[in-house]
Amino acid sequence: MSTIKNILLQFDTDPAASSFDAVVAMDSGVDTLLQYPGVRSENLTGLVHGAMFTRSLSKLRHTAIFVGGSNIEVAEQIYQQVLASFFGPIRVSVVMDANGCNTTSVAAVESGFSGLWTLGDMVHDETKPIRALVMGGTGPVGQRIATLLLDRGCHVVLHSRSVEKAGAVADRLRLGSQNAQIESLTKTGAELNLELPRFDLVFNAGAAGVQTLDEQAMAVLTQSRGVIVDLNAVPPAGIAGIAAHDHAKPMGQRLVYGALAVGGIKMKLHRAVIHACFRANDREFNLREIAALSTNLLTTEPGAC
């Protein structure tokens, strides 16, 4: 009896398709990976139709599309265009995880809540929402972390170097979430340090290789309860004193998670999403769908603020 192969079409917006995404695909049960670098709006429809019209409806679940590339905004547009190219039941499952932006954000938020659960601080009190600070909150990962935190009812503060940039992102996220409590912060140094103790969750989603919180900030932060998650794996540490492999490591009153510890969860999630694509022909995995998948997959307790 012949078995039908699971084929993943890797649509990448960069001139060379991501080797990272390719390796993860092959580790996720993909039999054949077809890479399409330099995917643009103009050449997309034909590629999608090629995926749609080559297998019978009952076999379409064995074909899926992964949208990647280093320019996350362009990849997001490509993802939306792929979805718009389908009609009726003739479709294949699609994942959007350009530069790991969605799986990383979900893994970061899962780590943060897992830490709060471990500390015993997951108290549901609508009058006192969990307060979260997102350093580098205007970047693609920071914005997605903020979106997930708002979805869980947190009070979110986005940190940025620019008042205008942070304000614009906060305004946009406020529109996308019901009853969103979001504000922005541009303080630095001693002024910023005074603010830190009020945050239950602190995420660093600042640029790779940039330290957003130094030793003085950590000395203040670790005197109050909560969780700190650093996503920067490129030295120096994004938050002073957090090592990339730290996983729920106690530091003063806080638990800390480093970039590679979060990366382990991200990898598990990335593989699970690819697996899930081949279970049906109509799955759509963007940020919130990946977050929904993670609550069933990861062993942490699902949290609400």
Ligand X SMILES: NC(=O)c1ccc[n+]([C@@H]2O[C@H](COP(=O)([O-])OP(=O)(O)OC[C@H]3O[C@@H](n4cnc5c(N)ncnc54)[C@H](OP(=O)(O)O)[C@@H]3O)[C@@H](O)[C@H]2O)c1
Contacting positions for ligand X (CB under 6 A) = 99-100, 104, 136, 138-142, 160-162, 165, 205-208, 210, 231-233, 238, 259, 262-263, 266
Q: Are 225 and 253 in contact (CB under 8 A)?
A: yes
Q: Which is nearer to ligand X, 69 or 129 (CB)?
A: 69
Our measurement of the distance from residue 21's CA atom to the centroid of its chain's CA atoms, rounded to an integer in Å, reads 15
Quote the distance between the C-alpha of residue 267 and its chain's center: 11
**Nearer Cβ to ligand X, position 93 or 232?**
232
Nearer to ligand X, 59 or 161 (CB): 161
CA distance 58 to 93: 13
Nearer to ligand X, 210 or 280 (CB): 210
Q: Minimum distance from CB of 267 to ligand X (Å)?
A: 8
> Which residue's entry shows tokens 């103790």?
197
- Nearer to ligand X by Cβ, of 129 and 238: the residue is 238
Q: Shortest gap between Cβ of 247 and ligand X (angstroms)?
A: 13
Min dist CB 138 to ligand X, Å, is 4
Residues 6+ apart with CB under 8 A from 92: 51, 52, 60, 61, 63, 64, 65, 86, 281
Least distance to ligand X from the beta carbon of 79, Å?
Answer: 17
Query: Can you tell me the distance from the alpha carbon of 29 to that of 185, in angstroms, rounded to the nearest whole number?
Result: 44
Q: Which is nearer to ligand X, 136 or 226 (CB)?
A: 136
Neighbouring C-beta atoms of residue 155, cutoff 10 Å: 20
Give the shortest CB-120-to-ligand X separation in angstroms: 27
CB of 213 to ligand X, least distance (A): 11
CB-based closest residue to ligand X? 139
